[in-house]
Homo-oligomer: A and B are copies of this chain.
Amino acid sequence: MKTVVLKFGGTSVGTIERIKKVANIISFYKKKRFKVIVISSAIGGITNDLIKKSKLISNNFDKAEYDSLLASGEQAACALIAGRLNHLGYKSRSWMAWQIPILTKGPHNNSRIYKIKKNQILNFIRTGGVPIITGFQGINDEARITTLGRGGSDASAIIVAKFFKAEKCIIYTDVEGVYTTDPKINSKAKKIDKISYDDMLEMASLGSKVMQPSSVQDGKLHKIDILVRSSFKKKSGTLITSSKNSLSNQIITGISSTKNDSKVTIVGVKDKPGVAASIFKPLSLNQINVDMVVQNISLNGKETDMTFTIKSEDLKKTQKIIKDNKKISFRKLAYDKNVSKVSIIGVGMVTTPGITYRMFQALAEKRINIMVISTSEIKISVLISNKQTKKAVAALHKEFKLD
């Protein structure tokens, strides 16, 4: 008998009717003779409500108490699922992370699981039981509750799949899977049947909200097949797997675009060794994430222009830090909030020449001006005016035969 881990997100357990549906999904796998382990998030909306409460209590809410506060949500959801399965005649019980225990290291609000004591769960499964485990949380060495940060229930599911040697980890969520691009931006977006971890990592880090990059990374690291599918519709979903298994004719798997980037240009910076470090070190120390970077060729050997992108929410802070920076001198600080990063992603491009050219050509034909280019082995990103995002995504979607 194979083991499967089923993870249900907040919207999947958002109402009583949905919890009943979740129990039916679990029942389906039991009838197919799988050993089933379930991970659940908190009932949708509960966690946000608790976060709101914590902010009203204090603008500097204690991090450990914050974890205890938030972790209460999963407990209720798991008890309700187990209660429903019992009602349907299945042997089931809920486990809070501390009862297993699931052990974590690292800071409150952002810890990571390093060990799961398996005995209780294994015994329960052996006798036909379905354990329902709280996602998103664990306990640290002091037996205090910790949480795993954003998307933490996915992380729990994948680590549990690893520890229990599950054949597959199925993430039940409110979307049908991973799409070639955002369906809101391009109506021709199509669901991807299979995608490699690497492609998914690029998709995730570029704004596809289906999964957090760290969970995809865990899946890749531990070689866990991840199936993302809808709790509401009987559709096949998207399998995230190794590139060996996901090889297809598709060179480009997906196209992503961002909304909230800003471009900053420092005009006429005195060009001397270490100038880039002088600019970027204080930004990094202030938790500002710098994305695309371009340094113009220094024509006279004395001055250069430095252009980079950041999240728009960091723009004001960035401007202040640069202006206050005593280590550099420059003529002008320019910025542009109306930009968008459009990327094409695909493991296939490694072995296929001409992708860059085809991308630039497709954009040029639509008279789309490229401001900045950045490439990795399996991704090419360009910065363009955000007025042209939709047009660019459509052109690329067509060019790389994703329509």
Binding site for B on A (CB under 8 A): 16, 19-20, 50, 53-54, 56-58, 60-62, 64-66, 68-69, 71-73, 75-76, 78-80, 82-84, 86-87, 93-94, 96, 98-99, 143-145
Residue contact B83 to A57, C-beta cutoff 8 Å: yes
Contact check, A62 vs B86: say whether CB atoms are below 8 A apart. yes
Contact A99 B60 (CB under 8 A): no
Tell whether, in the assembled complex, residue A61 and residue B75 are in contact, meaning their CB atoms are under 8 Å apart.
no
**Top 10 closest A-B pairs, CB basis?**
A58-B87, A69-B79, A72-B75, A68-B79, A65-B83, A62-B86, A16-B56, A72-B72, A65-B79, A72-B76
Contact across chains for B66 and A83 when beta carbons are under 8 A apart: yes
Contact A80 to B64, CB < 8 A, known contacts A58-B86, A72-B73, A72-B75: no
A16-B53, A75-B75, A98-B98 known; A69 vs B80 contact (CB < 8 Å): yes
Interface residue from B53, B68, B84, B96 paired with A57 (Cβ < 8 Å): B84
Bound Cα distance from A86 to B66, whole angstroms:
12
Kindly state the separation between the CA atoms of A274 and B53 in the bound complex, as whole angstroms: 61
Could you list 26 A-B pairs, sorted by A, with CB under 8 Å? Answer: A16-B57, A19-B57, A53-B80, A54-B79, A54-B80, A54-B83, A57-B83, A57-B84, A57-B87, A58-B83, A58-B84, A58-B87, A60-B87, A61-B83, A62-B86, A62-B93, A64-B93, A65-B83, A68-B75, A68-B78, A69-B79, A71-B75, A72-B73, A72-B79, A98-B98, A98-B99
Chain B neighbourhood of A50, CB < 8 A: 76
* A79: contacting residue among B56, B66, B86, B98, CB under 8 A: B66
Residues of B within 8 A of A20 (CB): 57
Which B residue sits closest to A80, measured CB to CB?
A: B57
Cα separation A58 to B56 with both chains bound (whole Å)? 35
List of B residues within 8 angstroms of A57 by Cβ: 16, 19-20, 80, 83-84, 87
How far is B85's CA from A65's CA once the two chains are assembled, in angstroms? 11
Chain B residues with CB under 8 A of A54? 79-80, 83
Bound: A228/B82 CA distance, A = 38
| A56: B residues at CB distance < 8 A | 16
Known: A65-B79, A65-B83, A72-B76. 4 other contacts (CB 8 A): A20-B57, A61-B87, A62-B82, A69-B83
